[in-house]
Amino acid sequence: VEFAVTQVNFVLLGFGNVGRAFARLLLAKRGELRQRYGLDWRVVGIATGRHGAALDPEGIDLEAALALAEAGQSLASLSPVQVPATNLGLIRASQADVLFETTPVNYQTGQPAVDHLRAALEAGMHAISANKGPVVHAYRELSDLARARGRCFYFESAVMDGAPVFSLWREALPGARLLSFRGILNSTTNLILTRMEEGQSFKDAVAYAQSIGVAETDPSGDILGWDAAVKVAALATVLMDRPLKPDQVERQGIEGLTAAVVAAARAGGRRWKLVCQAERTPEGVRASVRPEEVEVGDPLFGVMGTSSAVTFHADVLSGLTLVEENPGPQTTAYGLLADLLNAVRG
Protein backbone atom coordinates (compact mmCIF):
# COMPACT_ATOMS: atom_id res chain seq x y z
CA VAL A 1 0.00 0.00 0.00
CA GLU A 2 1.35 3.38 -0.95
CA PHE A 3 0.34 6.58 0.76
CA ALA A 4 1.73 10.06 1.27
CA VAL A 5 4.28 10.14 4.07
CA THR A 6 5.67 13.31 5.58
CA GLN A 7 9.17 13.23 7.02
CA VAL A 8 9.46 15.26 10.24
CA ASN A 9 12.63 15.94 12.17
CA PHE A 10 12.66 16.30 15.95
CA VAL A 11 15.00 17.93 18.41
CA LEU A 12 14.69 16.85 22.05
CA LEU A 13 15.71 19.24 24.82
CA GLY A 14 15.83 17.20 28.01
CA PHE A 15 16.34 13.44 28.16
CA GLY A 16 15.28 12.60 31.71
CA ASN A 17 12.40 10.32 32.73
CA VAL A 18 9.90 12.10 30.52
CA GLY A 19 12.21 12.65 27.55
CA ARG A 20 13.25 9.01 27.54
CA ALA A 21 9.67 7.78 27.97
CA PHE A 22 8.77 9.90 24.95
CA ALA A 23 11.63 8.37 22.95
CA ARG A 24 10.37 4.88 23.83
CA LEU A 25 6.82 5.84 22.86
CA LEU A 26 8.02 7.17 19.51
CA LEU A 27 9.80 3.88 18.86
CA ALA A 28 6.78 1.82 19.92
CA LYS A 29 4.39 3.86 17.76
CA ARG A 30 6.62 4.17 14.67
CA GLY A 31 4.52 1.86 12.48
CA GLU A 32 1.22 3.29 13.68
CA LEU A 33 2.34 6.90 13.12
CA ARG A 34 3.35 6.01 9.59
CA GLN A 35 0.18 4.12 8.77
CA ARG A 36 -2.48 6.20 10.54
CA TYR A 37 -0.93 9.65 10.26
CA GLY A 38 1.48 9.37 7.31
CA LEU A 39 4.25 10.51 9.62
CA ASP A 40 7.83 9.34 9.42
CA TRP A 41 10.11 10.82 12.05
CA ARG A 42 13.79 11.20 12.82
CA VAL A 43 15.42 12.63 15.93
CA VAL A 44 18.19 14.90 14.66
CA GLY A 45 19.23 16.47 17.95
CA ILE A 46 19.20 15.58 21.65
CA ALA A 47 20.42 17.74 24.53
CA THR A 48 20.57 16.15 27.97
CA GLY A 49 21.21 17.59 31.39
CA ARG A 50 23.97 15.17 32.36
CA HIS A 51 24.81 12.98 29.36
CA GLY A 52 25.99 15.50 26.80
CA ALA A 53 24.32 16.16 23.48
CA ALA A 54 24.15 14.72 19.99
CA LEU A 55 23.41 16.17 16.59
CA ASP A 56 22.99 14.19 13.38
CA PRO A 57 21.10 15.58 10.37
CA GLU A 58 20.67 12.01 9.09
CA GLY A 59 18.93 10.92 12.29
CA ILE A 60 20.28 9.73 15.64
CA ASP A 61 19.95 6.05 16.56
CA LEU A 62 17.35 6.57 19.29
CA GLU A 63 17.68 3.10 20.81
CA ALA A 64 21.41 3.66 21.14
CA ALA A 65 20.78 7.05 22.74
CA LEU A 66 18.43 5.46 25.29
CA ALA A 67 20.96 2.76 26.07
CA LEU A 68 23.77 5.27 26.57
CA ALA A 69 21.73 7.58 28.79
CA GLU A 70 20.47 4.67 30.88
CA ALA A 71 24.03 3.40 31.28
CA GLY A 72 25.05 6.87 32.45
CA GLN A 73 27.22 7.44 29.39
CA SER A 74 27.53 10.46 27.13
CA LEU A 75 25.57 10.74 23.88
CA ALA A 76 28.52 12.46 22.21
CA SER A 77 29.56 9.27 20.40
CA LEU A 78 26.27 9.39 18.39
CA SER A 79 27.17 12.75 16.88
CA PRO A 80 29.01 12.68 13.54
CA VAL A 81 29.17 16.49 13.54
CA GLN A 82 30.38 19.07 16.00
CA VAL A 83 27.68 19.84 18.61
CA PRO A 84 27.14 23.56 19.27
CA ALA A 85 28.18 24.65 22.75
CA THR A 86 24.74 25.89 23.82
CA ASN A 87 21.22 24.50 23.74
CA LEU A 88 20.06 27.46 21.66
CA GLY A 89 22.87 26.73 19.21
CA LEU A 90 21.85 23.08 19.06
CA ILE A 91 18.19 23.94 18.43
CA ARG A 92 19.12 26.23 15.52
CA ALA A 93 21.72 23.90 14.08
CA SER A 94 19.28 20.96 14.17
CA GLN A 95 16.99 22.56 11.55
CA ALA A 96 14.30 20.33 13.00
CA ASP A 97 10.57 20.66 12.38
CA VAL A 98 9.50 20.16 16.00
CA LEU A 99 11.13 20.91 19.36
CA PHE A 100 10.16 18.82 22.40
CA GLU A 101 11.01 20.62 25.64
CA THR A 102 11.24 18.49 28.80
CA THR A 103 13.87 20.29 30.86
CA PRO A 104 13.22 20.78 34.61
CA VAL A 105 10.67 23.42 35.56
CA ASN A 106 11.74 26.78 36.90
CA TYR A 107 8.76 28.24 38.78
CA GLN A 108 10.23 31.76 39.10
CA THR A 109 11.15 32.55 35.51
CA GLY A 110 10.23 29.61 33.27
CA GLN A 111 13.82 29.66 32.00
CA PRO A 112 15.67 28.29 30.14
CA ALA A 113 12.62 26.59 28.63
CA VAL A 114 11.12 29.89 27.44
CA ASP A 115 14.29 30.67 25.48
CA HIS A 116 14.35 27.17 23.97
CA LEU A 117 10.73 27.42 22.83
CA ARG A 118 11.17 30.94 21.45
CA ALA A 119 14.25 29.89 19.48
CA ALA A 120 12.37 26.94 18.02
CA LEU A 121 9.37 29.02 16.97
CA GLU A 122 11.62 31.70 15.49
CA ALA A 123 13.31 28.97 13.45
CA GLY A 124 9.92 27.85 12.13
CA MET A 125 9.47 24.77 14.33
CA HIS A 126 6.45 23.66 16.31
CA ALA A 127 7.30 24.09 19.99
CA ILE A 128 5.97 21.39 22.33
CA SER A 129 6.62 21.49 26.04
CA ALA A 130 5.92 19.31 29.05
CA ASN A 131 7.00 22.24 31.17
CA LYS A 132 4.53 24.48 32.99
CA GLY A 133 7.07 27.27 33.54
CA PRO A 134 6.77 28.71 30.02
CA VAL A 135 2.97 28.49 30.19
CA VAL A 136 2.71 30.78 33.21
CA HIS A 137 5.61 33.04 32.25
CA ALA A 138 5.32 33.37 28.49
CA TYR A 139 1.99 31.99 27.23
CA ARG A 140 0.90 35.12 25.40
CA GLU A 141 4.30 35.82 23.88
CA LEU A 142 4.92 32.28 22.68
CA SER A 143 1.34 31.78 21.44
CA ASP A 144 1.46 35.03 19.48
CA LEU A 145 4.84 34.10 18.04
CA ALA A 146 3.56 30.65 17.07
CA ARG A 147 0.52 32.15 15.37
CA ALA A 148 2.67 34.66 13.47
CA ARG A 149 4.89 31.84 12.20
CA GLY A 150 2.02 29.48 11.41
CA ARG A 151 3.28 27.02 14.00
CA CYS A 152 1.92 25.62 17.27
CA PHE A 153 2.98 26.13 20.87
CA TYR A 154 1.39 23.21 22.72
CA PHE A 155 1.94 21.97 26.28
CA GLU A 156 -0.65 19.28 27.09
CA SER A 157 1.65 17.49 29.53
CA ALA A 158 2.24 20.58 31.68
CA VAL A 159 -0.88 19.91 33.79
CA MET A 160 -2.34 16.46 34.65
CA ASP A 161 0.26 14.62 32.57
CA GLY A 162 -1.36 13.06 29.50
CA ALA A 163 -4.96 13.87 30.43
CA PRO A 164 -6.21 16.22 27.73
CA VAL A 165 -7.08 19.30 29.79
CA PHE A 166 -5.84 21.89 27.31
CA SER A 167 -6.83 20.10 24.10
CA LEU A 168 -10.25 19.31 25.59
CA TRP A 169 -10.98 23.03 25.53
CA ARG A 170 -9.04 23.87 22.39
CA GLU A 171 -10.36 20.99 20.26
CA ALA A 172 -13.40 19.37 21.85
CA LEU A 173 -15.35 22.16 23.57
CA PRO A 174 -15.67 25.00 21.03
CA GLY A 175 -18.10 27.75 21.92
CA ALA A 176 -18.05 26.95 25.63
CA ARG A 177 -16.96 29.55 28.18
CA LEU A 178 -15.15 28.33 31.28
CA LEU A 179 -16.54 30.00 34.39
CA SER A 180 -14.66 28.14 37.12
CA PHE A 181 -12.72 24.99 37.89
CA ARG A 182 -11.83 22.98 40.98
CA GLY A 183 -9.46 20.06 41.23
CA ILE A 184 -6.59 18.09 42.65
CA LEU A 185 -3.58 18.96 40.51
CA ASN A 186 -0.58 17.95 42.63
CA SER A 187 0.09 14.21 42.76
CA THR A 188 2.72 14.33 45.49
CA THR A 189 0.53 15.93 48.14
CA ASN A 190 -2.41 13.70 47.19
CA LEU A 191 -0.22 10.63 47.65
CA ILE A 192 1.05 11.96 51.01
CA LEU A 193 -2.53 12.55 52.20
CA THR A 194 -3.54 9.07 51.02
CA ARG A 195 -0.67 7.51 53.00
CA MET A 196 -1.58 9.59 56.05
CA GLU A 197 -5.16 8.26 55.83
CA GLU A 198 -3.64 4.80 55.91
CA GLY A 199 -1.98 5.70 59.20
CA GLN A 200 1.45 7.03 58.29
CA SER A 201 2.88 10.17 59.84
CA PHE A 202 3.41 13.21 57.62
CA LYS A 203 7.16 12.61 57.71
CA ASP A 204 6.91 8.92 56.80
CA ALA A 205 4.42 9.66 54.02
CA VAL A 206 6.82 12.23 52.54
CA ALA A 207 9.68 9.71 52.80
CA TYR A 208 7.53 7.12 51.03
CA ALA A 209 6.69 9.54 48.21
CA GLN A 210 10.41 10.26 47.85
CA SER A 211 11.30 6.57 47.87
CA ILE A 212 9.12 5.85 44.83
CA GLY A 213 10.37 8.91 42.94
CA VAL A 214 7.16 10.94 43.20
CA ALA A 215 8.46 13.58 45.65
CA GLU A 216 11.75 15.38 45.07
CA THR A 217 14.67 15.48 47.51
CA ASP A 218 13.41 18.92 48.52
CA PRO A 219 9.66 18.34 48.54
CA SER A 220 8.72 21.87 49.62
CA GLY A 221 7.55 22.97 46.14
CA ASP A 222 4.81 20.36 46.35
CA ILE A 223 4.06 20.50 50.08
CA LEU A 224 3.76 24.28 50.30
CA GLY A 225 1.39 24.30 47.32
CA TRP A 226 3.68 26.02 44.81
CA ASP A 227 3.44 23.32 42.17
CA ALA A 228 -0.36 23.36 42.49
CA ALA A 229 -0.40 27.17 42.30
CA VAL A 230 1.66 27.11 39.10
CA LYS A 231 -0.81 24.63 37.58
CA VAL A 232 -3.80 26.74 38.61
CA ALA A 233 -2.10 29.75 37.05
CA ALA A 234 -1.43 27.79 33.85
CA LEU A 235 -5.05 26.61 33.55
CA ALA A 236 -6.48 30.07 34.26
CA THR A 237 -4.03 31.76 31.87
CA VAL A 238 -4.86 29.45 28.98
CA LEU A 239 -8.44 28.30 29.53
CA MET A 240 -9.84 31.57 30.88
CA ASP A 241 -7.50 33.76 28.82
CA ARG A 242 -6.63 35.71 31.97
CA PRO A 243 -2.89 35.94 32.63
CA LEU A 244 -2.39 34.80 36.20
CA LYS A 245 0.94 34.45 37.96
CA PRO A 246 1.54 31.80 40.63
CA ASP A 247 2.00 34.44 43.33
CA GLN A 248 -1.48 35.76 42.53
CA VAL A 249 -2.92 32.41 43.62
CA GLU A 250 -3.92 32.43 47.29
CA ARG A 251 -1.85 29.54 48.59
CA GLN A 252 -1.77 27.28 51.62
CA GLY A 253 0.07 23.94 51.64
CA ILE A 254 -0.48 20.72 53.55
CA GLU A 255 2.40 21.28 55.98
CA GLY A 256 -0.02 21.99 58.81
CA LEU A 257 -1.99 18.75 58.49
CA THR A 258 -1.17 16.17 61.15
CA ALA A 259 -2.01 12.47 61.20
CA ALA A 260 -4.56 13.22 63.92
CA VAL A 261 -6.35 15.83 61.82
CA VAL A 262 -6.43 13.49 58.82
CA ALA A 263 -7.74 10.63 60.97
CA ALA A 264 -10.45 12.82 62.48
CA ALA A 265 -11.75 13.70 59.03
CA ARG A 266 -11.85 10.01 58.04
CA ALA A 267 -13.70 9.16 61.22
CA GLY A 268 -16.33 11.70 60.12
CA GLY A 269 -16.52 10.21 56.61
CA ARG A 270 -14.54 13.04 55.05
CA ARG A 271 -11.06 13.44 53.55
CA TRP A 272 -8.49 16.22 53.43
CA LYS A 273 -7.47 17.15 49.89
CA LEU A 274 -5.27 19.95 48.55
CA VAL A 275 -7.97 21.67 46.50
CA CYS A 276 -7.14 23.98 43.60
CA GLN A 277 -9.80 26.46 42.52
CA ALA A 278 -10.28 29.38 40.19
CA GLU A 279 -13.28 31.39 39.12
CA ARG A 280 -13.88 34.36 36.90
CA THR A 281 -14.70 37.62 38.63
CA PRO A 282 -15.61 40.99 37.13
CA GLU A 283 -11.94 41.99 37.63
CA GLY A 284 -10.27 38.82 36.34
CA VAL A 285 -9.79 35.52 38.12
CA ARG A 286 -9.82 34.63 41.82
CA ALA A 287 -7.73 31.52 42.48
CA SER A 288 -6.61 29.50 45.46
CA VAL A 289 -4.81 26.36 46.58
CA ARG A 290 -5.66 25.12 50.06
CA PRO A 291 -6.44 21.99 52.06
CA GLU A 292 -10.14 21.26 52.31
CA GLU A 293 -12.23 18.54 53.92
CA VAL A 294 -14.26 17.03 51.10
CA GLU A 295 -17.45 14.99 51.51
CA VAL A 296 -18.25 11.59 50.04
CA GLY A 297 -20.44 13.05 47.27
CA ASP A 298 -17.66 15.35 46.07
CA PRO A 299 -16.14 14.39 42.68
CA LEU A 300 -12.71 14.81 44.32
CA PHE A 301 -13.45 12.40 47.20
CA GLY A 302 -12.40 9.26 45.34
CA VAL A 303 -9.21 10.68 43.84
CA MET A 304 -6.47 8.78 45.66
CA GLY A 305 -2.70 8.36 45.48
CA THR A 306 -1.04 10.01 42.49
CA SER A 307 -4.32 10.39 40.59
CA SER A 308 -5.54 13.87 39.74
CA ALA A 309 -8.83 15.45 38.72
CA VAL A 310 -10.47 18.66 37.68
CA THR A 311 -14.12 19.70 37.46
CA PHE A 312 -14.97 22.39 34.94
CA HIS A 313 -18.03 24.60 35.17
CA ALA A 314 -18.91 26.27 31.90
CA ASP A 315 -21.76 28.42 30.65
CA VAL A 316 -23.09 25.42 28.70
CA LEU A 317 -21.98 22.49 30.90
CA SER A 318 -22.83 22.54 34.58
CA GLY A 319 -20.13 20.13 35.71
CA LEU A 320 -17.64 18.16 33.65
CA THR A 321 -14.97 16.26 35.58
CA LEU A 322 -11.83 14.68 34.17
CA VAL A 323 -10.01 12.14 36.36
CA GLU A 324 -6.62 10.69 35.55
CA GLU A 325 -5.60 7.52 37.38
CA ASN A 326 -2.08 6.24 37.91
CA PRO A 327 -0.12 8.60 35.70
CA GLY A 328 3.57 8.07 35.04
CA PRO A 329 6.31 9.27 32.70
CA GLN A 330 4.70 7.28 29.87
CA THR A 331 1.46 9.25 30.37
CA THR A 332 3.34 12.53 30.19
CA ALA A 333 5.08 11.21 27.09
CA TYR A 334 1.70 10.56 25.49
CA GLY A 335 0.76 14.21 26.08
CA LEU A 336 3.79 15.19 23.98
CA LEU A 337 2.74 12.77 21.24
CA ALA A 338 -0.83 14.11 21.24
CA ASP A 339 0.54 17.65 20.90
CA LEU A 340 2.69 16.54 17.99
CA LEU A 341 -0.21 14.95 16.14
CA ASN A 342 -2.49 17.92 16.77
CA ALA A 343 0.27 20.26 15.54
CA VAL A 344 1.09 18.41 12.34
CA ARG A 345 -2.50 17.61 11.35
CA GLY A 346 -3.21 21.35 11.66
- Contacts with its own copies, residue ranges (CB under 8 A): 25, 29, 32-33, 36-37, 162-164, 167-168, 170-177, 296-299, 301-302, 304, 307, 311, 316-327, 330-331, 333-334, 337-338, 341-342, 345
Closest Cα partner for 98 from 11, 158, 172, 156? 11
* Interatomic CA distance for residues 69 and 122, integer angstroms: 29
Report which secondary-structure segment, H or E, holds 309: strand 308-314
Cβ closer to its own copies: 276 or 337? 337
Min separation Cβ 173 and its own copies, Å = 6
| Minimum distance from residue 290 beta carbon to its own copies (Å) | 22
Q: How far apart are CA 52 and CA 213, in angstroms?
A: 23
To its own copies, the closest distance from the beta carbon of 324 in angstroms equals 6
3-state SS, residue 127: strand
Q: Are 193 and 272 in contact (CB under 8 A)?
A: yes
Shortest reach from residue 111's CB to its own copies, in Å = 29
Min dist CB 167 to its own copies, Å, is: 4
> Which residues lie across from 290 on neighbouring strands?
275
Residue placing its CB nearer to its own copies in the complex, 75 or 165 = 165
Nearer to its own copies, 42 or 170 (CB): 170
Nearest to 94 by CA among 52, 62, 58, 118: 58
Q: Residue 197 or 216: which CB sits closer to its own copies? A: 197
Q: Which is nearer to its own copies, 28 or 76 (CB)?
A: 28
**Residue closest to 162 by CA, chosen among 345, 21, 276:** 21
Its sign, for the CA torsion 34, 39, 45, 47, is negative
Rounded to whole angstroms, the Cα distance separating 305 from 211 reads: 14
Q: Give the residue with the Cβ less far from its own copies, 106 or 321.
A: 321
> Shortest gap between Cβ of 194 and its own copies (angstroms)?
11
Cα separation, 329 vs 207, whole angstroms: 20
